[in-house]
Structure 1
Amino acid sequence: MIIGELLQMAGGMSRREAAITLARADIPVFPCIPGGKRPLTPSGFRDATTRDYLVYRWWKRWPDANIGMPTGPKSGFDVVDVDVRGDESGFAVFQQALSAHLADGEIARIQTPSDGMHVYYWTDVAQRCWQAAGAHIDFRGDGGYVVVPPSVLNTERGPIAYRVTSLGKRAERLDAVALRAFVDPRPVPMSHTRSTGRTSTAALARWVSRLQEGERNRGLFWAACRLFETGTSPRDAMATLVPAAQHAGLETPEILGTIRSAWRNSSAEPYGPKFTAFANPAARDRRPGSGPCLS
C-alpha cells in the first residue's frame, strides 16, 4: 500500500493508531505538539523512527500529538508545499509547472489546514529543501518534514485536519532543481538578452561557467531555456553548455538532467529519442540489436 492510500485510511483513525500504522509500513514518524507543527522530541525529525514500540510510547505519553514525517530519502518521499497567504497562493504557479511537465508523477495531494496543498512524490535521492517565497511554493526534501493526516492544526477558524484529496496514478521522482528554476527564475542579465549568434552564445557560456554554488542549476536551466527558445538544437545546446557547466563545478549527470528539463519546458515537442541521442552517448553509439531499446 503506498503512502497516499495509507494516509487516506489514517484519516479515520486516532493519531496514535495512524502513527503506529505508518511506522509498521516502514514510514518513519515522530510526534509534534497537539494542534501545531513543532516537534516534541529533542532532535525533531531526526528522531523519526519505524520502531512501533517507540511510536506506541510516544503517543501513550502524548495521545493528541500530531504526526510528523521526515521528507527526503529517510521516508522515500519529497513534498511540494503550495502555500496560501491571505489573497495570494501558489496554486497558479504550481499549475503552470504541471503544464510544463515539471511536477508530473505525484503520489497524493493533501489539503492543509490553511487551504494550501502538500503534493507527495517518490524519491531515492537527497534534494535539499528550498523556499520560493514570491511564488508561494516550498520544497520539502532532505532535512525537512511535514505534518500528515489525521493531524489537526489550531487555526483562527478552529481545529482543522489535514486530509487526502486525491491519489496519483503513478509515482515519479521530482526534479526539484528544475522546479525551483521554473517557479523562482533568476533575473535576466541585460547583457544576455540576445542569445542568438556566435558572440552572444559564447557570452552565455561564459556566464554559465562563472555561476557560483547555489545558483548554478538555476542559471544553467535559464541559459538552456534561452537557447532552446531561439531554436538552438539539443546538439548545439549541449556543446555550448556542458563544458561551461562543468567548469562551474556541476557533475555531468546533473547537467544533462537540467538541460533535459529545460528542453521539455521550452520545446513544443516532448523530449525523447531526439534529445536522448545527444544527452546519452551510450544510447547514441548503440547499434540495432546491441542492447535494450530506449523507452
Structure 2
Amino acid sequence: MTARSPETIPDIPLHAALAYALLGYRVFPLGPKSKIPATPRGYHNATTDHDLIRKWWAENPRYGIGIDCYDSEVVGIDVDPRHGGLETLARLEAELGPLPESVRVCTGSDGLHVYLNRPEGLTKARGSLGPGVDIKLNGYLVAPPSVHPDTGRRYQWTRPPNTNQTADLPPAWLAAILPATTTKKAPTITGRRTSGVSSRYGLKALEDECAALHGTCEGGRNNRLNQAAFSLVQLVEGGELDESEAHASLLDAALASGLGDRESAKTIASGFKDGRGFPRRAPEQTGRPPAPSGSIPDQDPTPDAPQNWEDGLAYKTMQGGGQVLAKTAGNLALLLANQREWKGALAFDELAYRATWTAEPPPCPGRGLRIPSGHLEEAHCTYVRHWFRLHYGIDFGQQDTLSAVNLAAQTGRYHPVQDYLYGLQWDGIERVSSWLSIYMGAAEQTPIGQWWLISAVARALRPGCQVDHVLILEGKQGSGKSSALRIMAGDWYQGKLGDISDKDGVQSLLGSWIVEIGELDAFKGKEATRIKDFLSQQVDRYRPSFGKWRVDRPRGCVFSGTTNDATYLHDPSGARRFWPVLTGKFNLYGLERDRDQLWAEAVHLFRQGTAWYPITEEEHGYLAEQAEDRLAQDPWEEKLIVYLASHFDEEFTSRELLTDALDVTIDHQTRYDSMRLGSLLRRLGWKRFRSLTGRDKRVYVYRRPE
C-alpha cells in the first residue's frame, strides 16, 4: 500500500483515524469501549474522507476505530490467546513457515493482529485456521487507541504502519486461507466427506448461516447466533461439517455483526450443547430437470429449512415436460431475500415505513444504470427487473417487482432512531434539566425541556405512546430556533408539517422524529378541536397515495413550533398542549457537540421511568400560567366584560350574550360564534350548566363565577 505517511500515530481517536486515512486505511467509528460499529452499515461505511471522519468523531470524541480490511487491501491475522490462539499460531508457523515482519497490534486482551497485504484477486477466505486464529478479509479490525470492552485496556501498535512496511502474504499462508474447493459431483451424489473435513453441503450451510447472522437487525443477533449454532452442530454430528471450522466462522460472523466475543462464545457453546444428539446429513438431490430459460443458475445443494429456501420456489411445467421458474412476485421475493448476490441488500425502515437499500445490490453489466441506494423508488424496480432478465431470462412485471421488493425487505426490519439511541453511552454529566438555558438561552429554568426530550425518546423506543404536546420556541427571527431543532433531530428532522386536515399531514410525518411547525403555520385557520385531535393521535391512519389498503402506523415523532409572536394561542381549553419557552442567545456549536450526550441522558431517564409530562398541581399550574400569557386578545373580550359588569343576572344563554352583548343578530349567529363566546367566558371564570331556573332544561347557560 502506498500513501502519505504521518510522522507518528496519535493516541487521540480522531487524530489517529485521520492518520490511518492518510495511510490509505478506510476507517469507521466503533461505539466507545465497544466493538460494535457506530454507523448504520458498519464497515460498509468506512472511508478515507477527512471531512466525514471529523464529523463522526465530533459526534463522540470517545468513539473507537475500525479498519475495513478488504477495501484497505489488508488481510488480518487475528490471534486470540483466550481461545488457544497462541498454540494454534505456533503450530501454523511450524507447518507454513513464520509470518513475516509486518504491521502488528497488541489487542486489549493481549491478543495479536498482523496486517498483511491482500493479494490481487483474493475475494474470499476461510474464516479461521484453527482455534483462536481468525482470518479477517471481508470484515474489520479494531485499531488503536480503541479500548477493549472486556478488559478496559487500549489496543496498541507494536509495529505501527507509519514506520513499518506491510508485508506480503506468504504463498503457503495464502494457500492455507483459500476456501476449500471440490470437484463438481453428479446430481445424485452428496459429496459428503468425513474425518473432520467439511463437505460442500456443510460449507454452504455454514456460509448461509453466517450471512443470515450478518443480515439480522440489532436486538435479534444473539438469538439468531444461538439458532445457527444449534443447526450447524447437527451437521457436525452428521459428518458434514468440521466443528472447529463451524465454531471459528460463527464467532467471526458474530464479531463482525457487532456482538461481543465473550457473549458470542457463550451463545455458540449453548447452541452446540442443545443441538447435539440430532445428527443431520445432506439430502440426496432430486435432479430437477434444467431448462434453457427461466431456470435457476447452477447452485450448490442447500440444507434443510431454514437454509433450503429453494423448496419454496414455484415452477411451471413446459409442454416437453421440463420445468422453468414461474414468473411470480413470490418467487422474486424469495430470490431477493436469499440469493447470494441480493441477500442483505434490502431492509424495511420502520420509521420511514419504506423498503430501503442497506447494502449495494449486484451491478448490471455495462454503463448507464445507476446502482440503487437509499429508500426504494419506482425506478429501482426497473433496475431489479433488468438484472433478473439478464441473469434468469425472466422479465418480472413492474407491479410484481414492487410487491416482491417490499416483501423481501420485511426480512430485515430496523428502526434507525432506535439503533441510534441504543448505541449511545451517557458520560454521567447531567445536562437535560437545564439544556434549554444552556444551549438556547432560556432565561427561566423550566421542566419543559426535560419533559420534551424524554417524550422524544419515548416516541422512538415505544412508538404510539401518549405524547400530545408541542414545544414552542419563541424568539427573534433568524436567532437559531430551526437550526437547533435540526441539530437535535439529525437526519430525522422534518421542517414542514402538511395539512393536518387530510392524509398529507400524516404522510409528512413518515421518516421524521422531530417535526417543526414553523410560525405555527399548520395550525392557522384550524379549529381548536381539530388541532387537539391531531396532537392526541397515537396511531396515524391513512391510505397511501396510489395505495389500496389503509395503513395503521404507531406515531413515532414529536412536535416543536417556532414563532416570533408574543400572543399566538386562541383557545384556553387546548392551551395545555402548548409548552412555550422564551429563548435568547443560542449556542449551536455547544448543542451540536453535546447532542449525543443529551439524548443518552434522556434515554437513561426514560429507562428509569422518569415522567415526560406534568403530574403535580404545581406543574399543571405552571403550564396554565405560561399559556395564559400567550393567549391572543379577542376583540369581543372587552365588550363582553363591559356588558357583564353592568348586567347582574346570574346566568345567560349563548344566544342572549351574542345578541345583547356582542350585537350579533340571531340570523347571523353560527356554531363558531358560540364556541368563540364559550372560550371567552371560560377564560373569565364562567361555567356552563343545564338551566335549573324555570327555563327549558335542555338549554345550556353560563353561570357567573362565585
Q: Which residue of 2 aligns with 1:171?
A: 167
Provide closer, same or farther for how the CA distance between residues 18 and 166 of structure 1 changes in structure 2, counting only shifts above 3 A: closer
Provide closer, same or farther for how the CA distance between residues 96 and 122 of structure 1 changes in structure 2, counting only shifts above 3 A: same
Gaps of 5+ in 1: 186-210, 216-248, 250-295
Q: Does 1:84 align with 2:81?
A: yes
1:152, distance to aligned residue in structure 2 (A):
1.2
2:28–2:46 CA contact under 8 A, matched in 1: yes
2:31–2:37 CA contact under 8 A, matched in 1: yes
Q: TM-score, normalised by structure 1?
A: 0.53
SS of equivalent to 2:24: coil
SS of equivalent to 1:50: coil
For residues 150 and 2 of structure 1, what CA distance do their matches in structure 2 show? 23
Q: Does 1:111 align with 2:109?
A: no
2:125–2:177 CA contact under 8 A, matched in 1: no
1:174, distance to aligned residue in structure 2 (A):
4.8
SS of equivalent to 1:98: helix
Q: Which residue of 2 aligns with 1:147?
A: 142
For residues 174 and 132 of structure 1, what CA distance do their matches in structure 2 show? 17
1:97–1:179 CA contact under 8 A, matched in 2: no
Q: Which residue of 2 aligns with 1:29?
A: 27
Gaps of 5+ in 2: 181-198, 205-299, 301-706
Provide closer, same or farther for how the CA distance between residues 34 and 212 of structure 1 changes in structure 2, counting only shifts above 3 A: same
2:79–2:112 CA contact under 8 A, matched in 1: yes
Provide closer, same or farther for how the CA distance between residues 34 and 171 of structure 1 changes in structure 2, counting only shifts above 3 A: same
1:73-95 deviations in whole A, cap 9, x for unaligned? x101110111122xx52112212
Q: TM-score, normalised by structure 2?
A: 0.23
For residues 53 and 77 of structure 1, what CA distance do their matches in structure 2 show? 23
2:117–2:166 CA contact under 8 A, matched in 1: no
Aligned residues with identical type, % of pairs: 28
2:2–2:24 CA contact under 8 A, matched in 1: no
1:116, distance to aligned residue in structure 2 (A):
1.0
1:148-196 deviations in whole A, cap 9, x for unaligned? 01111232x4x21111124667611255563348xx99xxxxxxxxxxx
SS of equivalent to 1:105: coil
1:2, distance to aligned residue in structure 2 (A):
7.2
Q: Does 1:43 align with 2:36?
A: no
For residues 25 and 133 of structure 1, what CA distance do their matches in structure 2 show? 28
The 5-angstrom pairing of residues 234-253 of structure 1 reads none
> Which residue among 44, 59, 65 is the counterpart of 2:57?
59
Provide closer, same or farther for how the CA distance between residues 169 and 100 of structure 1 changes in structure 2, counting only shifts above 3 A: farther
Q: Which residue of 2 aligns with 1:224?
A: none
For residues 145 and 118 of structure 1, what CA distance do their matches in structure 2 show? 11
SS of equivalent to 1:59: helix
Q: Which residue of 1 aligns with 2:67?
A: 69
Provide closer, same or farther for how the CA distance between residues 77 and 58 of structure 1 changes in structure 2, counting only shifts above 3 A: same
Provide closer, same or farther for how the CA distance between residues 45 and 169 of structure 1 changes in structure 2, counting only shifts above 3 A: closer
1:151–1:162 CA contact under 8 A, matched in 2: yes
SS of equivalent to 1:40: coil
Provide closer, same or farther for how the CA distance between residues 105 and 39 of structure 1 changes in structure 2, counting only shifts above 3 A: same
Provide closer, same or farther for how the CA distance between residues 103 and 125 of structure 1 changes in structure 2, counting only shifts above 3 A: farther
* Cα RMSD (Å): 3.3
AA aligned opposite 1:161: R
For residues 94 and 55 of structure 2, what CA distance do their matches in structure 1 show? 45
SS of equivalent to 1:79: strand
Provide closer, same or farther for how the CA distance between residues 51 and 83 of structure 1 changes in structure 2, counting only shifts above 3 A: same
Provide closer, same or farther for how the CA distance between residues 129 and 58 of structure 1 changes in structure 2, counting only shifts above 3 A: farther
For residues 98 and 127 of structure 1, what CA distance do their matches in structure 2 show? 24
1:33, distance to aligned residue in structure 2 (A):
0.2
For residues 75 and 132 of structure 1, what CA distance do their matches in structure 2 show? 20
For residues 22 and 177 of structure 2, what CA distance do their matches in structure 1 show? 34
SS of equivalent to 1:153: coil
Give the structure, 1 or 2, with the largest relative contact order (CA under 8 Å, sep 6 or more). 1
AA aligned opposite 2:56: W
Structure possessing the higher radius of gyration over alpha carbons = 2
For residues 64 and 90 of structure 2, what CA distance do their matches in structure 1 show? 29
AA aligned opposite 1:9: T
